[in-house]
Chains A and B, each alone.
Chain A
C-alpha cells in the first residue's frame, strides 16, 4: 500500500446504518455494567482494609494505610491461616484429581452401565454443601455416627473425627472430596471420551505396555482438561467456607481457620471490619496470582495439543 493509491471516497456517509453496527455493543452493555457493579463492593472492602475499623469501637476508626497488612505479617494467627488454607487446598484438589481421574478411567467406555453410574455420581454435586456437611456430621458423630462404629469394628476406638484437632482436617477434606470429586470426574470423563482414538490404536498395534500408554499418551493429551478442572477446583477450594463452617466453624482451636472462615469470624464475632477486609484482599491476591499461573499453563498446553494437529 506504499504506492500512491487513490481511493475514491464515496459521496455518502458510511454504508451501514448506525444501529446495526452498535447493536453488539448495546447487547453486551448490561452484562458489562453488572460486572463493573460487582467490583463496587470489592473496592469498598479494599477501602475498609486500609482503616482501623471496628464496629464495636466506632470512635476509634482511623485511616492506617497498610498498617493492618504489616501487622498481619507478624501475626502467628495469619500464618496459621495461610498454612491451613494451603494444606486444605492442596489435599482436597490433589486427592479429588487422583480419584476423579481414576473413576473417569474406570467409566471411560460408553456403556449403559457406565453412564448410569456416572450420573449417580453426580448426586453429591447437586447437594448443597451445607447439607452435605450435615450428612457427614451425622455419620461421623463420635458417639453414635455410623462411621465411628465402623472404625471401632476395625479396632480404632474413640476416633474423634471433626471434634479433635488432629483429625478435623482429615474429616473435612473427606467431605469436600465427597462433594466435589464428581466435578473432577465429569470434566475428565468428558475429556477422555473426546480424545482422538488413533494414537491409542497405534499404540495397541505397536504392542505398547498399558502403563506406558497411560503416562505417555493419555495423560499428556488429557493435560488441558486436567489443568482446567484443577484450576476451577483450586479457586473454589481456596475460598472454601460452606463445608468448613457447617462442620466445625473453623475449630477445634484454630485447626480449620481457612481464610474465609477467619474473615467471617473477625467480622461477626469481633466486629472487626478492617482486619476482615484486609484478610480478604490477601486471599483475592493469592487467588488471582495462582489462577494466572494456571491460565498461562493452560494456554501453553492447548497450543501444544491443538497447534500440531
Chain B
C-alpha cells in the first residue's frame, strides 16, 4: 500500500515535471523546424531539424549586441544594487535602531508602486536628461526597482549570523574592517550570492522598461524578441529560435546556481 502510494506520488511528480517543461520543449522544437513545419497541423513531433533559423537570426540581427546589453545591464545593475544594499542591510542587521523595522517595511512598500504609473514621469525625465535608449537608464531603473527587495533579503540573511561570532572576532583582535573581511563576508557570502542571482534573473527578464525606454542601442534580449514579433509578420520558427537564444543563457545560469536561487526565493527565512 505504502509502496504503491510512493510510486503513485513519483508518477504524478513526473507528469507535472513533464507538463511543466513542455512549453519550453515545444518552443525548442519549433526553433529547429522550417517556417512551414512550425505552423503545420496536426503538429509535427518528428521532422528533419534545421539550423536555418539560427543562421538567419545571426545574419539579420546583432544577437551579440543585444546579449551584451542584457549582460551589461544585469551585471551593472546588480553590482550597483549590492554596493548600496549591502552596507544598508549590514547596518540595519547589526546596529538596529528603534525605527529599523519601520524603515524596512517602508522601503518594501515602494515596491507596490505600479510601473505604468511612474512610466510617464520617468520617460519624460530620461528624455530631458538625454538618457533614452541608453544602458545607463536601464541600469538605474533595474537598480531602483530591485533595491528594496534586495535590502530586505540581505537583512534577513545578515540577521541570521550569530552575533557572538562577530564579538568573538572583536575579542580576537580584529578591527571592523578585518571582522567584515575575514568573518562576516565568508559567512554571508551565500546570502549575497542568492540576492545577486535573483537580481540578475529579474533584470534579465525585465521587459517593460526595456521596451519603453530603448530603441536599438541599449536594447537587451527582451527587446530583441520584440523586434522579431512585430514588423516582419510572424515567423514562428525564427521567433522561437530567437526566444531560445534569449532565455537559454539565464536558464543555464539559473540551473547551475539552483541552490542559491532557492535560498534567495525563500529569503533564507527557512531554517
- Check B117 against A280 for contact (C-beta < 8 Å): yes
For the complex, give the distance between the alpha carbons of A239 and B251 in Å: 25
Quick one: closest A residue to B117, CB to CB? A280
Known interface pairs A38-B110, A123-B24, A235-B112; A128-B43 also in contact (CB < 8 Å)? no
Tell whether B114 is near chain A: CB-to-CB under 8 Å: yes
- The answer to whether B147 touches A35, judged by C-beta atoms less than 8 angstroms apart, is yes
9-residue interface stretch from A70-78, A160-168, A211-219, A258-266: A258-266
A contact residues vs B (CB 8 Å cutoff)? 20, 23-25, 27-28, 30-32, 34-35, 37-42, 44-45, 48, 103, 106-107, 113-114, 117-132, 134-136, 138-139, 141, 143-146, 148-149, 178, 182-183, 186-187, 190-191, 193-194, 235, 239, 241-242, 246, 259-260, 263-264, 267, 273, 276-277, 280-281, 283-284, 287-288, 291, 295
User: A141 contacts which chain B residues (CB < 8 A)?
Assistant: 39
Is the contact region of chain B dominated by helix, strand, or loop, or is it mixed? helix
Q: With a CB–CB cut-off of 8 A, which chain A residues contact B117?
A: 42, 45, 263, 276-277, 280-281, 283-284
Contact A122 B147, CB 8 Å, known A132-B23, A138-B30: no
User: A194 contacts which chain B residues (CB < 8 A)?
Assistant: 270-271
CB of A284 within 8 A of CB of B112, answer yes
- B residues within 8 A CB of A119? 255, 258, 262
In the complex, chain B residues whose CB is within 8 Å of the CB of A136:
23
Cβ-defined contact, A135 with B23, below 8 A:
yes
Partner of B21, one of A20, A123, A129: A123
With known contacts A24-B95, A284-B117, A106–B85 Cβ distance under 8 A: no
Q: Are B121 and A149 in contact (CB under 8 A)?
A: no
Q: Which residue of B lies closest to A105 (CB)?
A: B9
B77 interface hit (Cβ, 8 Å): no
Would B27 and A134 count as touching, CB distance under 8 A? yes
Which of B16, B38, B92 is packed against the most chain A CB atoms within 10 Å? B16
* Interface status of B59 (Cβ within 8 A of chain A): no
Of B87, B113, B125, B255, which is within 8 A of A38 by CB? B113
B184 within 8 A of A: no
Report the bound CA distance from A145 to B92 in whole Å: 52
User: Are the CB atoms of A28 and B87 closer together than 8 Å?
Assistant: yes
Q: Are B115 and A239 neighbours in the complex by a CB distance under 8 Å?
A: yes
Compute how far the CA of A87 lies from the CA of B257 in the bound complex, rounded to whole angstroms.
36
- What 1/0 mask marks residues of chain B from 12 to 23 whose CB sits below 8 Å from any chain A CB? 111011001101
Q: Provide 21 A-B residue pairs closer than 8 Å at the C-beta atoms, listed in order of the A residue.
A: A24-B97, A25-B91, A28-B88, A32-B88, A34-B84, A39-B110, A40-B121, A114-B13, A119-B258, A121-B17, A124-B23, A126-B201, A126-B250, A126-B254, A127-B251, A128-B207, A134-B243, A138-B26, A190-B266, A242-B207, A276-B116
> B166 to chain A: closest CB distance in Å?
14
Q: Please pick, from B120, B147, B207, B261, the residue contacting A273 in the complex, using a CB distance under 8 A.
A: B120
Contact A35 B148 (CB under 8 A): yes
Contact A31 B30 (CB under 8 A): no
Residues from chain A with a CB closer than 8 A to the CB of B84 are 30-31, 34
The 7 A-B pairs of least Cβ separation, nearest first, read A280-B117, A31-B88, A128-B205, A24-B95, A41-B121, A27-B91, A44-B121
Q: Is the CB of A113 within 8 A of B10?
A: yes
A residues in contact with B161, CB < 8 Å: none
Q: Is the CB of B258 within 8 A of A122?
A: yes
Which one of A34, A125, A190, A283 contacts B147 once the chains associate, using CB atoms below 8 Å?
A: A34
- Other A-B contacts than A31-B151, A190-B269, A260-B114, 19 sampled, CB-CB below 8 A, are A20-B176, A40-B121, A45-B117, A45-B121, A119-B255, A120-B21, A122-B261, A128-B205, A128-B246, A129-B205, A130-B222, A135-B23, A138-B236, A148-B41, A186-B265, A235-B111, A273-B120, A276-B120, A284-B117
